[in-house]
Amino acid sequence: MSEHIHLTPLHNISATDAAAWHRVVAASMARDLPGVPSPGPQQIHAELTKPTLDSHRLTWLATRTDGVAVGVAGLRLFTSPGRDHLAELELHVDPAHRRLGTGSLLLSAVVAACRAEDRRSLIVEAAADSPGEAFCEERNFRRALALDHLILHLDQLDEAAVLQAADAEHPGYRLTGWTGTVPDDLAAVFAAAKNAMNDMPVGDLDFGTVDWDADRVRAMARVIADRGDTLLTLAAVHDGGTMAGYTEILLPQGAPPRAQQYDTAVVPAHRGHGLGLWLKAAMVGRLRAEHPGVVEIETDNAEDNVHMLAVNHRLGFRSYRRTREFQLDLPAA
């Protein structure tokens, strides 16, 4: 049946293209990720049309002969030093049109683009024990990282435990926070703390490294704001002026009830003082005070990241699904 599917590279994405993309993603996620909210039409449009940080995106739409979209593929090509070998794939096929060759057609186009862009590593995430996982394994992707996804229901908190963690004394440290772009006086030390994420567990992924500086943290905040999302940050600042750690929460546009945990990191020299738990507990308090419409937070951790998993479990996060990161190695031609 694959000969009846037409692939269209999308260069100037129209509202019609974005709506078709949304329908495919929503159908795919409803089948493979029940209980996980799919991005809304406006989110999809923003993701497809707004600039990304240190990367560019290629997109394809797969349609039947009658013009109905049945599959989509988005390829993010990283461009910064340390990650310019890497590409990241998102691929969805409408469940009603699977096993007919559409996914293979899309993947062939993606792999050809990776080779043209001189990429050696293609990574993709798939729900554990899902059709996406089987698709990857059948096409020589290798399992590289297992992720545990957790949910914190804010109406089921152990109030006393969270309050105790948020109010715990940490001599020599103070909390500060902001919405959106980091204040100028903290930009450099925030960038230095961001570099602590380079030692997070990534399994066997050829993920590369990211070199953060003040300009890059400002650029990241602009990218998030431009697509209509809100980024909240809390940081622990040491008396000496360095930033010891931070935690970030993303509120997707449209004020949905589920917030997404972004980075949480503690700088190596400041680990062992309970700062991660303090920061995350304080962020829960901030969310409840400033964004009462948020009722749950989703996060994910590598299954071997035992320290952060322990912190999240202490706060009341509970595992609810698993995903796996797969990597396709693309030898040089």
pLDDT band at 202; cut points 50, 70, 90 = confident
User: How many CB atoms are closer than 10 A to CB 185?
Assistant: 9
- Write the burial class of residue 81 (CB in 10 Å: 0-12 exposed, 13-18 middle, 19+ buried): exposed
Residue indicated by tokens 């600042």: 237
Average pLDDT over residues 317-330: 96
Query: With 50 as the cut, is the pLDDT of residue 1 above it?
Result: no
CA-CA distance, 298 to 319, in Å (whole number)? 10
Average pLDDT over residues 111-129: 96
Query: With 90 as the cut, is the pLDDT of residue 209 above it?
Result: no
Distance of CA 135 to the CA centre of its chain: 21
Query: With 70 as the cut, is the pLDDT of residue 3 above it?
Result: no
CATH of domain 2-119: 3.40.630.30
Return the amino acid letter for 126.
A
For 137-165, write each residue's pLDDT tens digit.
999 999 999 999 999 999 999 999 999 99
Query: With 60 as the cut, is the pLDDT of residue 120 above it?
Result: yes
CB 4 within 8 A of CB 64: yes
pLDDT band at 256; cut points 50, 70, 90 = confident
CA angle 327, 328, 329 (to 5 degrees): 110
Average pLDDT over residues 114-124: 97
- Write the burial class of residue 11 (CB in 10 Å: 0-12 exposed, 13-18 middle, 19+ buried): exposed
275 phi/psi in degrees, rounded to 5: -70, -35
Query: With 80 as the cut, is the pLDDT of residue 264 above it?
Result: yes
Model confidence pTM above 0.85: yes
| DSSP E strands, the chain | 6-10, 55-63, 69-78, 86-93, 121-127, 142-153, 173-179, 230-238, 243-251, 258-266, 296-302, 318-329
Domain range list for the chain: 2-119, 150-323
Return the amino acid letter for 322.
R
Mean pLDDT of all residues in the chain? 94
Query: With 90 as the cut, is the pLDDT of residue 331 above it?
Result: no
53 phi/psi in degrees, rounded to 5: -90, 125
For 161-185, write each residue's pLDDT tens digit.
999 999 999 999 999 999 999 999 9
CB 54 within 8 A of CB 83: yes
Q: Are the folds of 2-119 and 150-323 the same?
A: yes
Query: Whose CA is closest to 245, among 261, 262, 268?
Result: 268
For 13-54, write each residue's pLDDT tens digit.
999 999 999 999 999 999 999 889 899 999 999 999 999 999
Higher pLDDT, 105 or 208: 105
CATH of domain 150-323: 3.40.630.30
